[in-house]
Each structure stands twice: as C-alpha cells, then as structure tokens.
Structure 1
Amino acid sequence: MTALGPFLFGAPLALLALISLPIIWWVLRATPPAPKDVELPSLRLLEGVEPKEETPARTPWWVWLIRTLAAAAAIAGLSQPVYAPGARNEAPDAGGALLVVVDNGWPSAPRWSELIDSATATLDTGGRDAATHLLLTAPQTLNADPATRLSRTDMAKRLSSLRPQAWSTDRTEALARLKASGLKPARIFWASDGIEDEGGRAFAAALSAMAPLSVYAAPPNGPAAITSIASQTDSVSVTLRRVQPHGEERSFVSALTLDGSALATAEAVFIDGERETAASFSIPAAALSRVARFTATGRQGAGTVWLWDSANRSRRVGLVDTGSVAQPLLSDMHYVRKALEPFASITEGDIEALVSTSPDAIILTDIGQIQPDDATRLAEWVEEGGALIRFAGPHLAAQGDDLLPVALRRSSRALGGALAWDEPQAMARFPDTSPFDGLAIPPDVRIRQQVLAKPAPDLARKTWARLADGSPLVTADTRGSGTLILFHITAGPDWSDLPYSGTFEQMLRRSIAAGRGESVNDSEGAYSPQLVLDGYGRLASAGANAAPLKAADFGTVKPSETHPPGLYQGPSGTRALNTGAGARPALIEAWPPAARLLGD
C-alpha cells in the first residue's frame, strides 16, 4: 500500500500511466487531413440551399476534456485506491522502531479492512530500513512476541494475513506481554476497534507513556451484537445492541436454517438515544424448529450471529389424555401443560394417535397398567429415538411396567405427616453427569412422597436428580436410540412443591431435549465443540485448540481460543456458546491527552 493524502493505493505503479495523458490529449485534439475536393456537376442543383447542420472544423474543447478526464479516472481505478482519512496524518520519521498495535477481537470485524489499511499505510511514514513490531490484543496461542523485529515488507504481509477473532480483546494481557518483551519503541500506531474493555484505559495510558501514540479508531457502525434471545412456542424476540446511541437507525435480523436459507426477516428500530432494541419474529412452531441461527442482515462479525441450539428450539410434545377430571386446574396435566407452553408445541390424545405423529417426546402422568398394544407402540417409538417422560403416582407405585428406566418397589415412600418417620426432603445438587447440571436448586421445595427404585449396581449412573438423603428423584436410561425418563413424584403438587418452581419447567425442557436420538448420558458430563464461529461469523469445524465445556459453564464462560463460540454436542443435545451473549459494548470515551486521534 502507498499513501497519498487520505488515499491508499494497492497498485501505485498503475499511476505511472498518468504520464501518457498529454499524449492522449494531443491525439484527441488532432484532426484528420482535409478532404480532397472533387467537383460533381449535379451539385449545382443544390446551389443556394442553406445547410441545417455544420460539422465543426475541430473537436470542441469540452469533448476532449471529458475524454481526458475519463482516461485519468480509468487509470486511477486500476491503481486500487482506498479512502482512509487520517492514515497519513503523521510526520515522516526516518528512524526508530515502530510498534503497530491491532485490536483483532470480534468488534473489529465490521471495519476490519479499514483497520488493516490504516496500519499498512503507517509503514510508509518510517524509513525504508526502520524496524517494525506487532502487538495483537486478542489472546491467542500463536501471538508473536512483540519484541520480534519485522521488516516493512514482512510487516505488510503479516498484516494482510491477519483475521479478526471471534472472542474479545484482552488489553490487560496484551500490555503484560508488551512489558515482558522489554521493547522500547520510538513510535506507536494503534489500529483500535474503539470499544472499551476492562483494561482499555490503562492500556491506552501505558502506550502513550511509552512513546508518541497515534490511534486510528474504527468502532462498529449500526448493531454491534445480538446480546440475547427470548423464545415462546411460535415467537422469538432478538435483542440487539449498538455502541453509538445517536439518531434513529433501522436494521434487519434474519432467521436462517443450517444451510443458510432465510425463513423469516424482522425489522429492528433503534430510537435516538437508545443503545438497545429488539426484533420480533412470529414463526409457526414447525418452522421455528428448523431455525439454526439468527443474524443481523448486512453485517459481518461473530457478534451479530446468534446460534440457535437444540435446547431453544420448539419441541413437539404429546400429552397422553387421561380423561376428564373433577378439578382440571388441580390435575397433573394442568401443571405439565403450563410448564410446556412457553417452549413446546403440545398435542393431546391417546397413545396410538400421538405415536403416529412422531413427536420429540411423549409425557405420561400417573398411569397404571398400559394396554399391551399401546405398550408395543411406545416401545417401538422409543427405540427409534423418542423420549418417554413419566410421572409417578399411586397407580404407578402399585403396578409398574417395563417402560421404566429402573425397577420400582411396589409401594411409595411418604415423608412427613403423623405416620411418617422421616421429614420432607429437599433436593440435592444435580450430579455433574446430569442434563440438569447447572440448574438452580430451589431452596424452598420439599418432597413429601416418592416412589423408590430398587437398589441396583447401575442406579447411580441412571440418576439425574436426587433428594438430600440420596434417594433418586429423577432417573433415566437409554432404550435403543431413545430415552426413558421417570420423575419419582407426581406432576402436580400432591407429592411435592416442585411443580410450583421455575426449576420444574427447566427440568422438563432439558428432559424433552433427549428426544429424537440426542444422547442423555456422557461419561464426563462434557460438551465437545463441533462447529465454531470465526471472526466474520462463519461456521467451520472446531480446531485442535478447542476444548470441551461442562453444562454449568455455558452461563458463565466467555468465548476464547480454548472455548470458541459455536455449537457443542453433549449429554442433552446441542448447546450454543454465543459471542454476543450478555455483551454491552461501549465506546472508549477518554483517550490519553497526548495521543493523536485519527479515523472516526
């Protein structure tokens, strides 16, 4: 790149063709030889007729001027010009080491080429043999030592090969690497994304104190990140955040399938003075289950992509009709229905009708003996990948059947009351290998009655939830490609307070995720990375540095090289780690007084 004023030229040698403009001008002005006079006798008939049009003796000046300017524009276009104001606002310095600092975290992606062009242009402000050094602020294993000296040519090649990362910068870590290198630069150029982070001010102050500092800031325009998503059965609300709250701004969010096909697009409007807004989708449950990701239309970067994991997609759930009840609002079905409505498409009917629709899960409340034909249908459906979720009660405790994950004792256990020896039990922490791992334990929930599992060597492996005394509360086991899940209590409040809590809804949600062949047990309870996002928001296969995540870490861990944003496969299906989750990007408001600010 060669700089000329506010312009950078990728092929500056093409400008040499401008030398030919005088020749082109002379050729355009030249006139052809005068025509030879030949007398034609019949022309006397036209003598005295005034001609309506006359051909000028030479080309008008404004015509050859336009042609010359068109030739100059074509030559300038071949030189690959890039407009980068401020990139050459520094006085040339023939000596001294130049440190180039590049913010290569996810906020830099929308204006990445502009940042790299500005950094490349600053190489021309030093001497031909001046030393250059590079410091990247996004943590990465292969980050070079800032003390490594690069020639101008090598630095230009290194800059052109850089790509933004899908995680945030860590300027505190970058500053520590710079100090440890012992480098003493004569000048510093910082190609900044303009976004504040925890160590941003200290980093800027340290650079300014180390050497004369020039900063080219290019913060994202428009929406910088999708920060959260709220879903219902047939609707989704996508929250976007921008860094500059000035003026009204319109953006669009698209719901895409795994192959990139758009299912729906919704508009989001930023009001003047506001940093956040939402795009609302109204999508039928059948179509919503096909959504793989949401993305801000026309934006590039991992921050504006939200991966839609299997835990969030609307599930098709069948509830086996148990017939009319005297008090519907107190029935077990009522509590199950209310817990499922926010995230599942519910169908009610008999077992034969439900199995024929191939739902993700079928839920049975307290049912005693299942008819042989229905038992066969359920068994075959589970073998093919369905999740059969059952709740205990007096009927199940007395009879039982083969469609259970564990063998049961023929009576229930009562806790509390005048005739019971034990007090009602609280819930224990979920096992690490359980799909429920990471959910909050409601402290006020008490279990007053349960069905007991018979002791078995594999009972611990099959237990997803326990009471404080260690007895199973939820057990599960695989059957073919499907899963059998048993809640050892009723679905209503007769035996426990669990149906009153929000944890009950989350437990059902994760249980249903076991449907359609998703694994429910993992030896380490970990989720392995399958597809990860690059800095531009594109999905690719996970690299060797990507490590598994525990279920409990998804709500707390921040994306990094070790845990890149993407899709992770584990005990209860697919989980997504998103770059923009909970992000609150804001502009760097205070720069060091001595710093020279370029760009925006």
Structure 2
Amino acid sequence: MIGALSFAAPAVLAGILVLPALYFILRAMPPAPRRQVFPPIRLLRMLAPTAHTPVRMPLWLLLLRLVAAALLIVGFAGPQIVPPPILAGRGPVLLAIDNGWASAADFAARQAAARRIADEAGRRGVILLSTARAPDGKPPRPGPVLGRDAALAAIGGLHPEPWPADRRADEAAARAARRAHPGLTAVYVADGLAAPGLDAFLAALRPERIVTGSIATLRLLDDAGTAPDGAMRARVRLVPRPAPVSVPVLAEDREGDALARAIVTIRPDHPTGTARIDLPFALQARVSRLVIPGEDGAAAVALLGGASRQLLVGLAAGGTADAEQRFTGELYYVRRALPQGARRLAGSLVQVIGADPGALILADVDLRPEAVARLRRYIAAGGVVIRFAGPLTASRPDKLNPDKLLPGIRDLSGPLAGGHPETIAAFAPDSPLAGLKLPLDAHIRRLILPDPAQLAPASVWARLADGTPIILGQRLGRGALVDVLTTANPDWSDLPLSAAFPALIRTLVHLGAGGAPSSGRLALVRALDGAGRLIPPAAAAKPLDAARMRHVAASPEHPPGLWGDTHGTVALNLAGHVPKLAAASWPALVPVTGLDAVKRARRFGPDILAAAMALLLFDMLATLWLRGALRIGTLRIGAILGAVSLCLWPSCIPHARAAPPEAALNTTLAYVRADDPATDRIVRAGLAALTAAVNAETAAVLGPPRGVVPGRDDLDLYPLLYWRITSRTRPPTPPVCAALDAFMRGGGLLVIDTDGGDAGQAGSGAGFDPGAQASRRRVTSCLSLPPLRPLTDRDTLAHTFFLLRSFPGRFDGAPVYIAVRGGRDADGVSPVVIGANDWAGAWALGADGTPLFALLPGMPGQRQAALRVGVNLVMYALTGTYKADQLQIPAILQRLGE
C-alpha cells in the first residue's frame, strides 16, 4: 500500500519492468512501408542497392504505445483507494448489528457499513450477531464463523424487525461468542438509541469500534389520539434538538390513498409535537393508519383500530319532545356518557339510521314493523343498537329482540316487591361487560321483564341482586343488540346517575363491526413488519387478552398490527411502550465512527483500462494514416470518433450551445410552483396523469409538465397554467401578478384551484382546508380578473371533447367559475377558470399507478369524470371555441324538423 493507494493484484505491476525492452523493440521495428503507385519505379528495380537507410518509428507514436502499455499494466493491477482500516487484531471478527425498529430508517447504510467490515475481515472470518429477536421468537445468538462471500450474503439477508433489540439476550450472546473465540475482534453497528440493558451489553461485547448513524433523524409516530371536539390528533416523538423540527403526517385509508395531511411542529429542546388532522366524519371513518411519508419502518406507522376512529352515535327518543331537557330528558344523561370525541346525531329514528351511525341508542322508542326490519338489517351489517325501556316499550313490546319482552312494568319499590329497590349484581363473566366496575350506587326501582320461557341464559349480561335480568345482549350478524330494561333517565333507576354509567355506555357503543373488542382472546389479523408494511401473521404470534391490550409491548409473540375477531379490531402499535427517546452514551476509550465514514474501496482499474483502450484506438488510426491506408470513408469514421472523444471531454461541455426550451419543441402543461414541496409533488403528479390521458384520448401530443415561476420563466410557451392555492399560499409579488396578467392577455388559460374549502361551503370538500377560500381571494386580488359567472353544461368548455354535465375533482359540488361573455378574448375564450374541487388531487397517481388520494363522496366513475374535466380544459386551451357550434345543435335539429 502506498498511503491510501493499494492494488488488488500488485504482482501485475512487474510488467512495468518490460517497458524498457518494449521501447527498444518498438524503436528497432520500422513501420510497414507505404505503398505508392509510381510507374517509372520499374527502371530502378534493375539497379543494385549500395546502402540501406532504416526508417524508425516516429517518437510520438512510440511514446503513445508505451503509455498505452503502461496503462494496461496498471489497470490490470487493480489500483484502488482503500479507506483507513477499521479492524484490529488477527482473530475472527464479531460483527454485532442492531436490527430493531430504531435501525429501519437507515438500514441500507448499516448493511453497507457491515459489508465494508466483512470485506476488510477477509480470511479472518466473520461472526454475525443481529440484536433483535427473530420473527419466530428465537433469541439473538452468535452465528458460525463465515468466509467473506458467505458473510456478505448473510448481511444482505438481514432486515429490521418491528420491535426493539433484546439487550438481555444480546448480552448473553456476546459472552458466549467471547468464550468460544477468545481472540476475536468485536465491531458494533449500533442504532445509537439509549435503552435499558445497553451498558451491560457493551460490557459483555467489549467492541474495538462502534459504527453508528445520526440519532437526530429518528422519528417515532405515537398512537393516534382524539381531540375533545372529535378531530384526530397525530403525535410525533424524537430526540430533542436545539432547532424546531417539522414532520409531515399523512392519514391514509386501507388502499393507501392519502385522505389528509398535517404538519407536526416540534419546538426546540422538546421531545414531542402534536398536530390536528381535520377531516369530515365520512372520511375520518375511512382512516386506517397515520404515516410519516418518505420514511420506512414500523416507527413511521400508527395503525388505527376500531376505537381509534371518530364514532358516530345516533340518538333517538320516543314519547316526549324534551328528550334533551337538563336532568330529566331521556337523552340528557346518555349524551353526557358518550365517549370523548364521539360525534352525536339526534333526531327521529328514520333520520339517524339514514346517517349509518356506528351505534344507535334508542330511549323508549316505539318500533313499527318496518322499523324492526330496517334495524335488523342495520345490526346484521355491523351496527349496534342499545335500547332503553320506558312506558312506550312496556305498553307495546316489539319483535326486534329474539328474547320476548313481557308487557307491563315491574315496580320493585312497591309493597308487593318488598318495598326496596335492587342493585346490580356482578356482570356475567362471558359478557362484554365483564371487568367493568359495578355501579354500587345505582338502585333499580322499576323495569320491564323478559319472558322467562323464551329467555336464553347466554343473552343475560347483567342481573339484579335478586337474579332479575336488567341488561340483555346478543350478537346478531356482525352487530349487536342490547336491551337495558330500565329508563335512560332517573325516572325508573339511579343507573344514569351512577359513576359507572359512562363506562357502560362506552363499552356498549363499541360492540359493532369495526369497534374495539373489550374482552376475550384476540388473534393477530394483520402484522406490521419492520418496513412498516402489513403482512400475514407469523406462526409465532400468540393470542392476547383484550383486557391487557394496553400493557402489551411489541414482541415476536405480540407483534404490532391489527388484533381482534370478526366483530372488530384493535391496533397494537410500536410506540405504546417505547420509553423516552435519547441518544446512547458510548465508552470513552472506544472509537466511534459514523456510517458515512465507513466506505468501501474505490477502484480505478476499469477507468484506466478504458483510457488504455482509447489510446490503442488512436494508435490504430495513426498507423493507418502513416501507411496511407485511410480512404475517404475511413477519414469520416476517424473524424466522427475524434469529435465524439473531444465532446466527451469535460472541458468541451461548458462551451456547448444551449438547447432550446423543451416547451418550445413540445406542447407542455405548466403549473405555478408553490412554497410547499408537497403541493408541487401533488400538482406535478396530477398534470403528469392528465398529460397521459390527453395523449391517449386525443390527437394532441403533450410533453412532461413543468413547474414555472411567473416573472422569471417565459409563460408564453405554455397554453395552460395550473395554480393550486391552499390556505398557506402567500400573496404573489407585483412581478408575478404582472406576468400572470400578461399570460391571460396573451391567450393563455389560467386554471385556479384549491385543495378544499371552509366548513359550511358548497361541495364535498367543505372543511378540508379552512381558510383556502379567503386565501384564494387574497392571493388573486392583484390580478386583473374579468367578471365571473358559474360554469354550466351549456358552455363551450363542457363540449370541447367530452360532453360534461358536472365538473368534479377530488371533491364534488363546488361551483366552477369562468369569465362572462364581455370578459373573454376576441375568440370568446375565457382567460381564467376557477374551481375548488381539487382537480390535481383527483388526477394524481403514485409511482405504481395507483391514485394518491381518495375521492369524496366517492361516486362510481368520479375519478374518470375528473380526468374528463382535465381533458376538456386542455382542449379548451388548445382549440378555443372550436366546438361552440355544438351548442346550436338542438336549434339546428329543430329547424330541420320544421
């Protein structure tokens, strides 16, 4: 090795000793004689030569060949720059690699560092030790001594696990490796995270070097929470940093479509940050997980079970109009007992069941036969119905409950019943109420009774102290029917006043399909792997008790994922039992190397051999020229090769002539660049999908869309300019406004769109981006926009290619505006189109061709209709009022008929 330079085959360098001999050989060998046709030369053939003058090879050609030969020798010797050595000692190398959840973010870099160490170990052998337990539950163990190739293959087969490293088992494995190989050299590729048992593991391992990445990039997404008003909350944890950190979080549905995006801002020197995710209830019920985009690993995913989503509870009461009356109303105490964040919908039975709530609470509602049939279908589909008794129910029992209820009221406080109310006894051990605190302060005075001849014992979930049933329940299909045989207000009992009443209601409303099971043994439905993907459960996964769900940490036996049964699921996430994140402290005398500093050798052999081949090619052309063998065709070939060689030389590149803009050669759609990179990515993906649709459906051929900055880029090259405005868009500068005005005056079509609107506005995007409409008015106030009117299906824009009746995007229902007739150009084309349906969000596709966002309300064909709107916008920008005559077709047909 010469400094950091070494050779893979240094013996080949001995060929340099042959170069002096090669010099004299080439010097003595004359070049081939040049052939020249000269007829009088025949007279000289009869003369006898008296002297011979040797012709020697030109010096420049000789040096060229010597340099080419030297480059071939050096290239075959394999020159390379080798980084400073990592390993010490001479024994086998114990390579410990962290592959717990904290290593997933930069696991590829850890594998690259491990390969570099295995390369350097060479014939010494490598013993691999991965610190996390395997998916089959086996603890970490040191492997056998592997050769270089086997070690590289084993390193490539490692992958991160969705649970932390097992430091106790790691310590035992390190001690076992030390006992088996006393002279080994230990190197630790660490995740850099402090954890219980790490110091004991380091003491047993005694590493000669520690290789670790930056702990500052580690982010952990906590379980999704719910705000008091029902909004979803995202919480991110990290190692405190001196500067503020912004972390984007996406709310996705089961298909991976992004439904909402929030930014979690973590203040300096703080370990956590929280952000609200505002979604309408229809979409919040579809959220299946929160993710940190662009990051791999279980730490960047928070799954949502049935209890994590906002619950819609329907409330209906019969008999009186003052069901919400304070202290006496039939729904007053039920409303106060609902889970925090649950959305409440009160009204008639027809109104509330039409909203498809997750749970339905009926307070003394008299059910007609058609209502009974509808409720049965609702329960079978996964809903839960909770019925409270009352005078109406007692006078006219219905047939909803398979356990027949008897007419009449039993008065426990009357003289015939002993004159004292009864309390509730222990809940049935096999009922969903098992484990709840008994309402000892609840005295039942009156109730209705089930028919004992038709009562199934399994349907009794709670009894009074004298054995009288008070709560009946049973599963029907995917849902549940629960009968509380007393009133929902204090008229018949003190149960609504009991401290246990909220827990009772909270348990009952989650009994439907998609709710969180609160009792019984739960099986693993889908597991979360180390890369943050849902996979089928492994054989090592064991059922767990739903009552202990909050106390279970992620492990091979209980991996993070979705647990439950056919009636619902509950999410077990990684973050539930991860302690406070902090950087690990390393032993003072052990050198610590960053992942970026561990690099593999850089080889120059192929580059040097390529240079030698280029010199040999030049030598061939020079030899042909000296022999006079070059013809016109050969000269052309040589000129081409020479020009290519010169243009490949780096110094030639800066002098290359600037190519014309791509938009000048191909028709291209453009968009106004935003301050937010995420918005640019969405718009670029949307316009790319629209471009593909236009190229497939029409005769137009569009190039890839481009982002532009008005006032700096030339907008005259683009027929259509898309501008997506959000609540965070800043007002443009005067040069930007002037450039946009000039673009519209010059015949361009400016399409202004938003990613949602304020709550209460028209369209299904209401509430998605509060402040977007005000931002649009503020941002466009500097533009010289013409007077506007709503777009209808009678306008040319609705007929330019497809016949459109509506103009949906990701949302539907928001009006679209175009210029009035007096505000258009000479051809009658509106210079601006303004919408609020988020067309780009509907068009956008991911790298795998799947849509990036779900649609609302998600009607059949809505995405195809949104693409057709985009195609019409492009054709409107390209052809103007070419299809305006279609608007006169009805009148023309009428005249023809006449």
Alignment TM-score, normalising by the size of structure 1: 0.75
1:405 and 1:503, CA in 2 relative to 1: closer, same or farther beyond 3 A? farther
Query: In structure 2, what is the equivalent of residue 508 of structure 1?
Result: 505
Distance 2:80 2:390 in 1: 76
Query: For structure 1, which segment, 156-165 or 478-487, has the greater mean C-alpha deviation from structure 2 after superposition?
Result: 478-487
- The superposition leaves residues 442-484 of structure 1 with CA deviations (integer Å, 9 ceiling, x where unpaired) of 6765343455555579845334456677765533223345421
1:243-322 alignment, distance < 5 Å: 243-322=239-318
* Counterpart contact for 2:87–2:185, Cα < 8 Å: no
Secondary structure at the aligned position of 2:224 is classed as strand
Secondary structure at the aligned position of 1:251 is classed as strand
Query: In structure 2, what is the equivalent of residue 364 of structure 1?
Result: 362
- The superposition leaves residues 349-371 of structure 1 with CA deviations (integer Å, 9 ceiling, x where unpaired) of 2223333443333221134x433
Query: In structure 2, what is the equivalent of residue 34 of structure 1?
Result: none
Q: Does 1:474 align with 2:468?
A: no
1:78-227 alignment, distance < 5 Å: 90-93=86-89, 95-126=90-121, 128-140=122-134, 141=137, 145-146=141-142, 148-179=144-175, 182-185=179-182, 186-208=184-206, 212-222=207-217, 224-227=219-222
TM-superposed CA distance for 1:502, in Å, is: 7.2
Q: Does 1:537 align with 2:532?
A: yes
Q: Does 1:462 align with 2:464?
A: no
Distance 2:214 2:451 in 1: 62
Distance 2:491 2:567 in 1: 29
1:326 and 1:195, CA in 2 relative to 1: closer, same or farther beyond 3 A? closer
Equivalent pairs, count? 515
Q: Does 1:378 align with 2:372?
A: no
Query: In structure 2, what is the equivalent of residue 348 of structure 1?
Result: 346
Query: In structure 1, what is the equivalent of residue 599 of structure 2?
Result: none
Secondary structure at the aligned position of 2:326 is classed as helix
Distance 2:514 2:411 in 1: 32
TM-superposed CA distance for 1:493, in Å, is: 4.3
Secondary structure at the aligned position of 1:318 is classed as strand
Secondary structure at the aligned position of 1:197 is classed as coil
Secondary structure at the aligned position of 1:228 is classed as coil
TM-superposed CA distance for 1:497, in Å, is: 5.4
Q: Does 1:569 align with 2:564?
A: yes
Distance 1:411 1:546 in 2: 51
Q: Could you tell me which amino acid in structure 2 is paired with residue 134 of structure 1? A: L
Query: In structure 1, what is the equivalent of residue 774 of structure 2?
Result: none
Distance 1:256 1:122 in 2: 40
What is the root-mean-square deviation of aligned Cα atoms in Å? 3.8
Query: For structure 1, which segment, 464-473 or 96-105, has the greater mean C-alpha deviation from structure 2 after superposition?
Result: 464-473
Distance 2:510 2:80 in 1: 53
Greater fraction of residues in helix? 2
TM-superposed CA distance for 1:386, in Å, is: 3.1
- The superposition leaves residues 29-56 of structure 1 with CA deviations (integer Å, 9 ceiling, x where unpaired) of xxxxxxxxxxxxxxxxxxxxxxxxxxxx
Secondary structure at the aligned position of 2:283 is classed as helix
TM-superposed CA distance for 1:237, in Å, is: 1.3
- The superposition leaves residues 467-526 of structure 1 with CA deviations (integer Å, 9 ceiling, x where unpaired) of 6777655332233454211224432345555545675445434433344x569999x932
515, 521, 524: which one pairs with 1:526? 521
1:447 and 1:586, CA in 2 relative to 1: closer, same or farther beyond 3 A? same
* Counterpart contact for 2:291–2:300, Cα < 8 Å: yes
Report % sequence identity. Answer: 29
Query: In structure 1, what is the equivalent of residue 721 of structure 2?
Result: none
* Counterpart contact for 1:565–1:576, Cα < 8 Å: yes
* Counterpart contact for 2:306–2:515, Cα < 8 Å: no
Distance 1:224 1:135 in 2: 25
Distance 1:481 1:258 in 2: 20
* Counterpart contact for 1:413–1:452, Cα < 8 Å: no
527, 549, 552: which one pairs with 1:554? 549
Q: Could you tell me which amino acid in structure 2 is paired with residue 116 of structure 1? A: Q
* Counterpart contact for 1:531–1:541, Cα < 8 Å: yes
1:218 and 1:575, CA in 2 relative to 1: closer, same or farther beyond 3 A? same
Larger RCO (CA within 8 A; separation ≥ 6): 1
Distance 2:213 2:486 in 1: 58
- The superposition leaves residues 238-295 of structure 1 with CA deviations (integer Å, 9 ceiling, x where unpaired) of 1110024332111111111111111111111111110111021111111101111111
TM-superposed CA distance for 1:537, in Å, is: 0.8
Distance 1:446 1:504 in 2: 9
Secondary structure at the aligned position of 1:254 is classed as strand
User: Who wins on radius of gyration, i.e. which is larger?
Assistant: 2
Distance 2:517 2:577 in 1: 29
Greater fraction of residues in strand? 1
Distance 2:482 2:439 in 1: 24
Distance 1:384 1:351 in 2: 17
1:114 and 1:390, CA in 2 relative to 1: closer, same or farther beyond 3 A? same
* Structure 1 unaligned blocks of 5 or more: 17-74
Q: Could you tell me which amino acid in structure 1 is paired with residue 106 of structure 2? A: R
* Counterpart contact for 1:215–1:597, Cα < 8 Å: yes
Q: Could you tell me which amino acid in structure 2 is paired with residue 476 of structure 1? A: G
1:199 and 1:473, CA in 2 relative to 1: closer, same or farther beyond 3 A? farther
Distance 2:532 2:498 in 1: 37
TM-superposed CA distance for 1:405, in Å, is: 5.4
Distance 1:244 1:364 in 2: 50
* Structure 2 unaligned blocks of 5 or more: 13-74, 596-898
